[in-house]
Structure 1
Amino acid sequence: MTVMSVKLRSLPETGAAVGWGGSHSVIVDRPLDKAGGTGLGFNGGQLLALAIGGCLCNDLHYVAHEMGISLSQLAVDVEVSFDGRPLVATAAEVRIAVEADDPAADLDELVRRAKAASTVSNSLARGIPVNVKGPGLALSLT
């Protein structure tokens, strides 16, 4: 089993937080003037879309490498729809544009295999429990 973890801490004198895992960091915030947001970073919904698209980008590169395909161009656009109260993600649409150095490369198979291998998309589709613990509190969100 693989475990990945990140940490988030409030960023002094802002409404934002800095998150990091290993040597990489990101700023998380709300839009300017929304619940004290300062607009310094991505909100949770944007991070969800980035996780979906970023994971798929990596998988496209992994699978291309396995298939011996050299990619010349890759673009991944992700749109996540939200609805309800509390606001929850209801759907994600991913658009991929990919080109290879070899015009005969099987790009449909590349995309099919990358989607099948995508950790984030597969995790979301299957659903995972989220356990939240705080001072004297333990909640399970399923």
Structure 2
Amino acid sequence: MVAVAVELRNVEGTEAAMGWAGGHTIVVDRPEGKAGGAGLGFNGAQLLALALGGCFCNDLRYASHEIGVPLGRIAVTVTVELGGTPLVAMSAAMRVDCETLDGSDPRPVIEQAKAVCTVAHSLRNGLPVSIDG
């Protein structure tokens, strides 16, 4: 099994948080005027959508290399529907558009990426979440 860990800490002088993994960072915040948010970064729903779409973009590249069909342009749009109290993600929809460099049909690459996308499979299957204080 492989484990991935990230760290988050408050950003001094704000109510936002800075997250990092290795040398990569991201700011997490609420929209301006919401619970002290200043709109300095992504909110949780946006991060969830980015995780799904970003993972799929990476898997398109993995599939492209595995199948031997190089990709050019990739465009992925993810929409996460939220509802309920507490607010939870109810569904996610992803629109994928990409082009192969050789002009061939990109569907085999997209299908291969769908078969292996870690975040998509994790969300579909659910996963236990523990929160320790």
Amino acid at match of 1:37: G
| Matches of 1:101 and 1:112, distance apart in 2 | 17
Counterpart position of 1:70: 70
Residue in structure 1 matched with residue 97 of structure 2 by the alignment: 97
Q: Deviations over 1:76-129 (max 9, x none)?
A: 11000000000000111100110011122x411111110110000100100001
Tell me what 1:113 maps to: 112
Question: For residue 2 of structure 1, what is the aligned residue in structure 2?
Answer: 2
Q: Which runs of 5+ in 1 are unaligned?
A: 135-142
What CA RMSD, in Å, does the superposition of the two structures yield over aligned residues?
A: 0.7
**Residue 132 of structure 1: aligned partner:** 131
Shift, 1:22, TM fit? 0.8
Shift of the alpha carbon at 1:50? Answer: 0.1
Match of 2:47 in 1: 47
| Counterpart residue identity of residue 90, structure 1 | M
**Counterpart secondary structure, 1:114:** helix
Name whichever structure is richer in strand by fraction: 1
- Structure 1's consecutive aligned runs of 4 or more residues displaced over 2 angstroms after TM superposition are none
Secondary structure of the residue that 1:133 maps to in structure 2? coil
Q: Any residues of structure 2 matched to 1:81-96 within 5 Å, and which?
A: 81-96=81-96
Query: 1:94 corresponds to which letter in structure 2?
Result: M
The answer to whether structure 1 residue 33 and structure 2 residue 15 are counterparts is no
Q: Which amino acid aligns with 1:4?
A: V
CA distance, structure 2, for counterparts of residue 32 and residue 16 of structure 1: 11
Q: Which has the higher contact order (CA 8 A, sep 6+)?
A: 2
1:51-95 deviation per Cα after TM superposition (whole angstroms, max 9, x unaligned): 000000000000001111111110111000000000000111100
Structure 2 portions without partners, runs of 5+:
none
The 2-side partners of 1:103 and 1:10 are apart by: 47
State the match for 1:138 in structure 2: none
Report the AA paired with residue 115 of structure 2. A
Q: TM-score, normalising length from structure 2? A: 0.98
